[in-house]
Amino acid sequence: MIEFKQINKSYSDGLVLSDINLTVNDGEFITFVGRSGVGKTTIFRLLIGEEKPDSGELIVNGCNVEKLTKSRIPYYRRKLGVVFQDFKLLSRKTVYENVAFTLVVSGASNKKIKELVPQAIGLVGLSGKENRFPHELSGGEQQRCAIARAIVHQPKILIADELTGDLDAIYSWEIMEILLRINKLGNTVLIATHDRDIVNRLNKRVITMENGKVAKDQAVGRYMI
């Protein structure tokens, strides 16, 4: 369970999030929508402990994220899977190495790596492209690779920021289907998107943000901006 309690967050040039209260139950699929710059990415940054809220509490599975010390944060992050808005793939590593990286860093055994990495690559449909470097992949394939890296360690919570940016409709939906499959396995999925069709087709909970606040929180939401 994820709980935002009276979260306020400002950067040097002003308040971005004010008074955010949200509860996300295990196994939910939530879509954040809102104009560019409204603070969707900021919410995710708080969730992974990259930024700290100015005030308020953020509790993830009983753990107070804003109180985590620097030395605890790595261990906390290993429980999450994150697909970043800009993918953040390692350009000098192959698809396989990129996906394995999460496991390597967290000290998984070679046996476990050999077992989990092909699974994750298969799940996102990149089998056969393990030895390519990121620049040898299309934008959509890079995104799949980023998803594979985010899910390879089987996190209970998957966060995907702005997944379907500039992909065609069919391709975008294929990506969404991957996330839905992960959600079906019982994992919590949080995404942010600007894609109206996707939101309307998902029929999942939608949180609409405006002016740094939660404007609407609908159990089966539609894209309305």
Partner 1 sequence: MLRSLFRVIKFGFMNFWRNIWMSFATTLIMVLTLFSISLLIILNLYGDLIIENIKNKIDVTVFFQQDVSKAQIDEVQSALSNMTDVDEVKYTSKDEALKEFQSKHGDNPLILSSITELEGNPLRDTLVIRAKNLDKYNDIKIFLDNEKYQPIVEKFTFDDNKEIINKVSSTLSIAKKIGIGVSVIFCIIVVLVMFNTIRMTIYTQKDEISIMRLVGATNAFIEIPFIIEGMLYGLFASVISTLILYPIILYTTPKINEFFQLVNVDAASVINKNLLIIIAVQLLLGIFLGVVSSAIAIRKYLKV
Ligand X SMILES: Nc1ncnc2c1ncn2[C@@H]1O[C@H](COP(=O)(O)OP(=O)(O)OP(=O)(O)O)[C@@H](O)[C@H]1O
Can you give the binding site for ligand X, defined by CB under 6 A? 11-13, 16, 34, 36-42, 85, 162
Least separation in angstroms between residue 63's CB and partner 1 is: 14
Which of Mg ion, partner 1, ligand X, none is residue 39 near (CB under 5 to 8 Å by kind)? ligand X
Which of partner 1, ligand X, Mg ion, none is residue 38 near (CB under 5 to 8 Å by kind)? ligand X
Which of partner 1, Mg ion, ligand X, none is residue 16 near (CB under 5 to 8 Å by kind)? ligand X
Residues that bind partner 1 (CB under 8 A): 48, 50, 70-71, 74-78, 82, 84, 88, 90-92, 101-102, 104-107, 109-110, 149
Distances (CA, A) of 72 to 69, 150, 217: 5, 19, 32
DSSP 8-state secondary structure symbol assigned to residue 64 = E
Alpha helices in 2-128 (DSSP H): 40-47, 73-77, 95-105, 110-123
Distances (CA, A) of 51 to 42, 74, 139, 204: 8, 14, 28, 27
β-pairing, 29-33 with 188-192?
parallel
Which of partner 1, Mg ion, ligand X, none is residue 82 near (CB under 5 to 8 Å by kind)? partner 1
